[in-house]
Structure 1
Amino acid sequence: MVPYGNLIYFLLLIILFIPIVLYGLKGKKIKTYSTIVGWILVLLIFKNDLNQLLFFICFTIFELLIVIFYKNYRKDKNSSMLFYTLIGLSILPLILTKIQPFILTHSILGFLGISYVTFKTVQILIEIRDGLIKELSIMEFLQFFLFFPAFTSGPIDRYRRFLNDYDHDYAPGEYKVLLLNGINLIFRGFLYKFILAYAINLYILSNVYLHEKLFILKLLYMYAYSFYLFFDFAGYSAFAIGVSYLLGIHTPQNFNRPFISRNIKDFWNRWHMTLSFWFRDYIYMRLVFLLRKKKIIQNRYTISYIAYFTLFFLMGLWHGLELHYIVYGIYHAALIIGYDLFERKIKSKKLIPRSKFTDILSIIVTFHFICFGFLIFSGTLFK
């Protein structure tokens, strides 16, 4: 059963959430019941595929053992070799899942959401190493790892923020606000995903014949696909965040009007924000720190550009090993680096003063660069 995929799923949520909402309005959390409901809904994802279910169970145990082992080991020793080995082991199932289509004709590994839960393990390992996570129980790990509203496609939460919400008791009237905001987000999800995204796909994308190789058709597809991707994914995120609110968890927002971004950096602060910030904090910043610490390269801009390229190249690979995903990652790396060079030149020479006109022009130009990137991402650029 695909989460938020049809009305049956939402009817099931309504039935299962009645006790949670009623207790919440009384200012109480029923954590045991909420946990059982959440894990049942996670297991329902695998109801039609026993092989995936077995792989998911083995994967969860494997990731749990890695985290518990490292947490206990870190009490006495600090080993970079062990840390990087465990990071490699934690992402190994994801890597195997990504490469199996090129090796096997029949999928035997992976499941919907493996990327996002893998990020959770990596995040926890890094924060244990940094000393930010000092205590972690098996149940706390599983609560975070198997949190069902954002299990398959995010948003990507942070362990310590999640745990604070989970352990937090409601203040008077707090749950009523959460409930209303959650319902509002769920209705927004219906508007985005089941009305706007559905209509764009049905009336435009399904009727654009790209094999005719007309420029106007390619252009129409580019714009339509960009808005479809936004409404479909933002709709899913609204569902996930809204349902999280009903459980008392403030899952972070994932989108903030990305199509009014003034530049490509601004775009990545607005589009799939939890993924963008995750890559920024755990890949970009750490790679910059490592290169500066090792003094391999002296120029700070060169270091930044290497880190940007690595970040977006990995982000492309994360989406898939197909060529269009890799090109998409490299394209955004080039945009980020190019914009930084342009911005520094503009500031140093004071060539273009900022005004309302330049802001509008920046939004229009950025929008078109973004849409072209989504055309690359769609895999239809050369069809």
Structure 2
Amino acid sequence: MQQLIEFFLVSFAAVTLSWTFRGRSGMMTIPLITAVYLLYKSPLSLLLLLIIVFANYFILSKSNFSQKIQIILCLTVTGGILLFAKIKLALSDGWVIPLGLSYYAFRNIHFALECYKGKIRQYTLLEYLSYNLFIPVMLVGPINQYQLFIKDWQRRRYDENNISYGLERILYGFTKITLIANYFISKKLTLQIESLHDQHLWVYTFSGLCIFVFNAYFQFAGYSDIAIGLSRLAGVRINENFNYPFFSVNMREFWTRYHMSLSQFCKDYVYTPIASYFRNPLLGVVLTMAIIGLWHELSWRYLVWGLIQFAGITYSGILPVGNSSFLKNISRLGTGLFYILSCVIISKTSLEEVLSIYKILFFLN
């Protein structure tokens, strides 16, 4: 919670100062404060970010390499740094992944691939740095797109509607994190189910799993609301990250509503090229969900979790819902239950613990 408050205060100060100064000076306030914040909180993260940005900028705009060589070099630099950090995290107990690395690495992969496809043609180093040093999305995303960001960044103007909407989204975010996740779910509900352990083991186990899933959801959704709100205060629109995923009628729809910026990134740069090149949509889906799983953590747990999501997506259309409200509600319940049960695999650290929970939930103990 302390990190959230600190992050919010620094971001709010950066946004406020950006409107205090006019013209280019005001616009540069946010990236400068972001750089200072990273230098204070995670100097390694700032160093890696600057290495990625300057390397990509030089490769894409200053080198004489062919486009294919350029994209290979950019992906090698950015992907290599991200992969090294993930492997070190998996192998070292004391290692903490540099702040925001997973998010700004994917932003830079997005930037390089959009340049390769010719959708980003003109940009300056200052604009590229501003895109990467935008503090509202630095902590936990979303993975915002360069084209949409720079359009608002270049044309931004003070708008009372943006201020009102931004403050509203920030309030929603803090409510989700502090009231729903931290107080109601983590504190009150956890205390309520403690007494069920001995007499009602199944209820205790399933309730604990629900607490794990929904606490994570409301925490993440709350952070996304705050990031969206702060961005709107700065005059920049960024893409939504959640759209009531637990109202989805199947897992295919669920992953268009849950962690939407990551899902869209993987759809654009993993699923579409693989499915098109190999003419095999199924291969595209399995690799997409495996990458989504491993992006969260480089471990067998998250790989298996990603493959479970693939299975859910693959069999999404097995039961047609039609226009029946009753069947839609049953499908929503089944989809939510499937996702909750899939999270057993990431709620524990050992295979033995995972199997013991599944035995309880499926009455096999």
2:24 aligned with 1:47: no
- Decide whether the 8 Å contact of 2:11 with 2:135 is kept in 1: no
**Percent identical:** 24
Decide whether aligned partners of structure 1 residues 305 and 17 sit closer, same or farther in structure 2, where only a CA change above 3 A counts.
closer
> Aligned in 2, Cα 1:322/1:76: closer, same or farther, shift over 3 Å?
closer
Equivalents in 1 of 2:86, 2:46: separation in Å? 19
Give the distance between the partners of 1:45 and 1:86, measured in 2 at CA. Answer: 23
Matched to 2:59, the amino acid is: Y
Is 1:339 the counterpart of 2:316? The answer is yes
The answer to whether the aligner puts 1:285 opposite 2:292 as a matched pair is no
- Identify the match of residue 180 of structure 2 among 182, 196, 202: 196
Matches within 5 A, 1:93-242: 93-107=81-95, 110-170=97-157, 175-199=159-183, 200-205=185-190, 214-242=201-229
1:37–1:266 CA distance, 2 compared to 1 (3 A): same
In structure 2, what is the Cα distance between the partners aligned to 1:84 and 1:16?
35
> For residues 30 and 246 of structure 1, do their structure 2 counterparts lie closer, same or farther at Cα, with a shift above 3 Å needed?
farther
Q: Which amino acid aligns with 1:35?
A: M
Question: What amino acid sits opposite 1:101 in the alignment?
Answer: L
Matching residue of 1:309: 286
AA aligned to 1:40 is I
- Which residue type is aligned with residue 328 of structure 2? D
Tell me which amino acid in the other structure corresponds to 2:120.
Answer: I
Of stretches 89-98 and 240-249 in structure 1, the one that deviates more from structure 2 is 89-98
| Gap change, CA 1:133 and 1:363, over 3 Å in 2 | same
Output the TM-score relative to the length of structure 1: 0.82
Q: Which amino acid aligns with 1:241?
A: I
CA pair 281-34 structure 1, distance change in 2 beyond 3 A: same
For 2:34 and 2:60, how far apart are their aligned partners in 1? 29
Q: Give 1:272's match in structure 2, choosing from 259, 281, 294.
A: 259
How far apart are the structure 1 equivalents of 2:216 and 2:61? 43
Q: Deviations over 1:87-144 (max 9, x none)?
A: 122111111111113444542x741210100011111111111111112211111111
Q: 1:67 to 1:356 in 2, by over 3 A?
A: same
Residues 262 and 359 in structure 1, CA contact (< 8 A), matched pair in contact too: yes
Match of 2:80 in 1: 92
Question: In the alignment, residue 189 of structure 2 is paired with which amino acid?
Answer: I
Once residues 147 and 77 of structure 1 are traced to their aligned partners in structure 2, the CA distance between those partners, rounded to angstroms, is: 30
1:36 aligns with 2:29: yes
Gaps of 5+ in 2: 358-365
What is aligned with 2:305? 328
Secondary structure of the 1:248 match is: coil
Instruction: Report Cα offsets for 1:209-234 as digits up to 9, x if no partner.
Output: 69979222111012222221221111
- Could you say what secondary structure the match of 1:269 adopts? helix
Give TM-score scaled by structure 2 length.
Answer: 0.86
Partner AA of 1:328 in structure 2: W
Secondary structure of the corresponding residue to residue 136 of structure 1: coil
Residue 188 of structure 1 aligns to which amino acid in structure 2?
Y
Quickly say closer, same or farther: Cα 1:288–1:66, change in 2 above 3 A: farther
Name the SS of the counterpart of 1:47 in structure 2. helix
Q: 2:286 is matched by which residue type in structure 1?
A: F
Compute the displacement of 1:353 (Å).
4.6
Counting only pairs closer than 5 Å after superposition, residues 3-42 of structure 1 correspond to structure 2 as: 5-6=4-5, 9-20=7-18, 30-42=23-35
Instruction: Find the partner of 2:231 among 221, 226, 244.
Output: 244
Number of residue pairs aligned between Structure 1 and Structure 2:
349
What value does the CA root-mean-square deviation take over the aligned residues?
Answer: 2.7
Kept in 1: contact 2:35–2:46 (CA 8 A): no
Amino acid at match of 1:377: I
